[in-house]
Structure 1
Amino acid sequence: MERVLGLAPDPGSARAARALARPRQWSALGSNDSLVWGRCQGSAREPYQVTVDLNEPAFRCTCPSRKFPCKHGLALLLMWAAGDGTVADLDAAADFARAWARDRAERSARQEARAATGPPDAEAQARRVAERESLMTAGLDEFERWLFDLVRQGLAGVRRQPPGFWDTAAARLVDAQVPGLAERVRAMGSAVHVRPDWAPYLLAQLGRWYLAVRAWRRRAGLSPATMGDLRAVLGWSRRRDEVFAGERRRDRWWVVGLSQEEDERLLSQRTWLYGEDTGEVAVLLDFAAAGGALRVPHVLGSVLDVELALYPGSPPRRALLADEPVVTTGAGYPAPTTVLGAFDVAAGWQAENPWLSRIPMTLGAVTVVSGGSGGSGGSGGGDGAVLVDVDGTALPLASDTDVWPLLALSGGHPVDLFGEWYDGHLHPCSVAADDRLVSV
């Protein structure tokens, strides 16, 4: 049971799973050698379809929860682990469970088939790279002209532009196989209308976009790290086999923070790691289709004894797990610092990678100070709330931060906290409380 609850993303999910682990809320419960499945009646009209692959474990649930695993998957696994006959031992899986398992097996087979074909033809691969570079160059040349026109006409007029102004520019970048930059351009269409600081924000982003265009033209002289940063901002991804063939780093990696985002198409999670011996910071990215399940073999507060395969780029670097981790339990954060100490590190990272948008920060002994307004309608929003360190330096919290859990966990006393700094505010991810890390 404790192993199952150890998979919970936070204590609230564990408590909710215990409450749900009762047969009266479930139907079509069953299991075989590799799968556990069932339907759980929730707030939706139709019961949620829940499946667990026991081999990893991996989870799938049709509920809208952004947590992984969700409370339904944990509850199903708890009932199976109890072994009291609640979950029937069946030969044939339910249709939805069988379909999910089949899709996973087919994906795995395709990956193995690709690996078995051997290395790609070098000449053909070089030709494809040259063709893509030519297409990207033409697209970025056109984008540069678009930037010049925008600046020449003046930034004050961009708020009068229709949404198609940004969408068309983004679509052209997508056609030129520059999807990363396209996503930033598309997002600006709403940012100029909703941000009170839209003008300086737009000007800063235009500078970064133009820098990416200029850097692309000089790519032959860039260092491997800078080229890695440039490819990331442009959206030219690397194959996993390329990453595994590159630089590696073994350490005891502390899982210090998890951050999830979801839109109508994609669920993503950043898992921030801190190397106990190397002092390096790395991030694992997990993706799944909206409504799908992430493959997350790590838990907040755990320590992974594992080798990482590092993507080319400047720190903090993206990474992949290069082997199966040995998981132990940690307590707290390995290297908390003051606000000014965190900004010293951030300034070094930003100098190496001007396109870095999210900066991880581990702050020690900070006090949560509410903004006093309690957010819109007393909902506990973070508008005006700050963190104050032992030197009296304050750091603003993001306006969408729910301050009350932070205040409850800290009790008004200094606590260690991890978060992501972007757009001029800190977005908390976890806090150290009672000798463990709690997701916030």
Structure 2
Amino acid sequence: MLALAPDAGSARAARGLANPRTWSDLGSTSSLVWGKCQGSARAPYQVTVDLTEPSFRCTCPSRKFPCKHGLALLLMWAAGDGSVTEDAGPADWVTPAAPRREAAKPDPEAQAKRLAERESLMSAGLDDFELWLHDLVRQGLATARRQPPGFWETAAARLVDAQLPGLADRVRAAGADIHARADWAPHLLGELGRWYLAVRAWRRRAELDDAAMGDLRTVLGWARRRDEIGDRVADRWWVVGLSQEEDERLLSQRTWLHGERTGETVVLLDFAATGQALKVAQVLGSVVDGEVARYPGGPPRRALLAGDEHKVTPGSGLPHATDVRTALGQAARWLARNPWLRRIPLALAGMTVVPGDPPLLVDPTGAALTLAPGTDVWQLLALSGGHPVPVFGEWIDERLHPLSVQVDDRLVAL
């Protein structure tokens, strides 16, 4: 995309501006991307990119075309990290020409051409990534640990340029984990295997069913438009866990729902640039009666609340909690279907907190799960009173990150 830059200086400036902290009112549709960038002027610059050409519009005084603001907006959209949200229509301030373009009938031939170009770019990027993986393994894991941060960042940047932001995020995370984890070697080896599996799966994507292709697109970072999410199911959805994470660029929020009738667990994802407000989350412990639209993929699936009306009533705890063996058996089945799954929701019944190094949660059968580093064990002990309680959490890297605990008939966030 930086090939569109009028000169090298504009390309460098665009990379520096491709940070959600300097932007507001970001949004996109299938053919438009828009946002406001805070520059040297009092009012932020209004930036629009028409993806069909592409063409750029910006209220900044720059005489370069496209300007650094338009290029930066395009880079953030291509990264697919959630900072540029998907909307039903353009914002009111978007240039008047944009709504007319948005209403125009899509050109199937042009869409097919863009799809083929993207797949070709991704294929070339994955070919290059495979060579990088071979070199890394051939040199040995110990050599990988001695690599400077720029080694991992360069590989991630090349993946972003190939429109593979999901893999890029994993490479960056591995570069940090290799110095932060005591079990860095087996962890890195597992990641290398999952990355290589993604490369091989892409080459055989024609053989994948819709669910497997959905999981592959997720790990690669190929986002879907909201109008593509049409697999709806109605149920009474129990809000069983909430989690937020923040890095230097993005604030993310996960809301775990469990269907009373379907028995299905889904996750709602919301994003905002760091320093900006997130969408108000559903209330922990409540029950949302209505439809969700599920993304293609294996369970547990990402979903969106569908429709305009959702009746919300109080709930009463974790009705689907099980023992450790049953919960891990379900997790194993999910992982067999989707080996790239990173967060697995576990609803556990009758768990007793056992402080120690490491701290544990133990069920009535004696089966135990290790609590993740950073867990507030004393808060868990205080809320449980030392008695067995139901707990909901995310199983990540064979550690449980507890998100909520049932106290009497209500869920309390951790």
Q: Aligned residues: percent identity?
A: 68
TM-superposed deviation, 1:120: 2.4
Mapping of residues 141-290 of structure 1, within 5 Å: 141-243=127-229, 246-290=230-274
| Matched position secondary structure for 1:295 | coil
User: Separation in 2 of the partners of 1:304 and 1:362?
Assistant: 18
1:377-435 deviation digits (Å, cap 9, x = unpaired): xxxxxx51100001011110011101111101100000001000001100000001131
User: Separation in 2 of the partners of 1:113 and 1:434?
Assistant: 53
Q: Give the match for residue 422 of structure 1.
A: 396
Q: Would you say 1:338 and 2:333 are equivalent positions?
A: no
User: Separation in 1 of the partners of 2:291 and 2:241?
Assistant: 19
Cα gap change, 1:114 to 1:179, in 2 (>3 Å): farther
- In structure 1, stretches of 5+ residues that fail to align are 1-103, 372-382
Amino acid of the structure 1 residue aligned with 2:381: L
User: Separation in 1 of the partners of 2:282 and 2:223?
Assistant: 24
1:4-53 deviation digits (Å, cap 9, x = unpaired): xxxxxxxxxxxxxxxxxxxxxxxxxxxxxxxxxxxxxxxxxxxxxxxxxx
TM-superposed deviation, 1:116: 5.9
TM-superposed deviation, 1:132: 0.3
**Range 404-413 or range 289-298, more displaced:** 289-298
User: Separation in 2 of the partners of 1:132 and 1:430?
Assistant: 41
Cα gap change, 1:430 to 1:172, in 2 (>3 Å): same
Mapping of residues 337-376 of structure 1, within 5 Å: 337-371=322-356
User: Separation in 2 of the partners of 1:362 and 1:115?
Assistant: 47
Q: Is the 8 A contact 1:286 1:296 kept in 2?
A: no
1:288-310 deviation digits (Å, cap 9, x = unpaired): 11111111351100100110111
The one of 325, 328, 352 equivalent to 2:313 is 328
Q: Give the match for residue 294 of structure 2.
A: 310
| Matched position secondary structure for 1:416 | strand
User: Separation in 1 of the partners of 2:231 and 2:150?
Assistant: 42
Q: Give the match for residue 36 of structure 1.
A: none
User: Separation in 1 of the partners of 2:101 and 2:228?
Assistant: 12
User: Separation in 2 of the partners of 1:261 and 1:275?
Assistant: 25
Q: Is the 8 A contact 1:259 1:271 kept in 2?
A: yes
User: Separation in 2 of the partners of 1:149 and 1:356?
Assistant: 26
Q: Is the 8 A contact 1:273 1:283 kept in 2?
A: yes
Q: Give the match for residue 140 of structure 1.
A: 126
Mapping of residues 291-306 of structure 1, within 5 Å: 291-306=275-290
The one of 394, 404, 423 equivalent to 2:378 is 404
Amino acid of the structure 1 residue aligned with 2:121: L
User: Separation in 2 of the partners of 1:389 and 1:308?
Assistant: 32
Amino acid of the structure 2 residue aligned with 1:254: W
TM-superposed deviation, 1:113: 4.1
| Matched position secondary structure for 2:92 | helix
TM-superposed deviation, 1:115: 10
User: Separation in 1 of the partners of 2:338 and 2:329?
Assistant: 14
| Matched position secondary structure for 1:237 | coil
1:82-137 deviation digits (Å, cap 9, x = unpaired): xxxxxxxxxxxxxxxxxxxxxx9x96437994896155222211111110000000
User: Separation in 1 of the partners of 2:372 and 2:336?
Assistant: 24
User: Separation in 2 of the partners of 1:250 and 1:297?
Assistant: 19
1:54-74 deviation digits (Å, cap 9, x = unpaired): xxxxxxxxxxxxxxxxxxxxx
TM-superposed deviation, 1:158: 1.1
Deviating beyond 6 angstroms after TM superposition, the runs of 4 or more aligned structure 1 residues are: none
User: Separation in 1 of the partners of 2:349 and 2:100?
Assistant: 47
TM-score of the aligned structures, taking structure 2 as reference length = 0.76
User: Separation in 2 of the partners of 1:387 and 1:395?
Assistant: 5
User: Separation in 2 of the partners of 1:252 and 1:166?
Assistant: 44
Q: Would you say 1:437 and 2:405 are equivalent positions?
A: no
Q: Give the match for residue 131 of structure 1.
A: 117
User: Separation in 1 of the partners of 2:118 and 2:255?
Assistant: 31
TM-superposed deviation, 1:364: 0.4
| Matched position secondary structure for 1:325 | strand
Q: Give the match for residue 109 of structure 1.
A: 92
Q: What is the root-mean-square deviation in Å for CA atoms of aligned residues?
A: 1.8
Q: Is the 8 A contact 1:416 1:431 kept in 2?
A: yes
User: Separation in 2 of the partners of 1:151 and 1:110?
Assistant: 51
Q: Give the match for residue 29 of structure 1.
A: none
Amino acid of the structure 1 residue aligned with 2:251: L
User: Separation in 1 of the partners of 2:279 and 2:147?
Assistant: 41
TM-superposed deviation, 1:196: 0.5
Q: Is the 8 A contact 2:244 2:254 kept in 1?
A: yes
Q: Is the 8 A contact 2:237 2:259 kept in 1?
A: yes
Q: Is the 8 A contact 1:271 1:284 kept in 2?
A: yes
Q: Is the 8 A contact 1:362 1:419 kept in 2?
A: yes
Q: Give the match for residue 8 of structure 1.
A: none
Q: Is the 8 A contact 2:90 2:99 kept in 1?
A: no
| Matched position secondary structure for 2:292 | strand
TM-superposed deviation, 1:190: 1.3
| Matched position secondary structure for 2:194 | helix
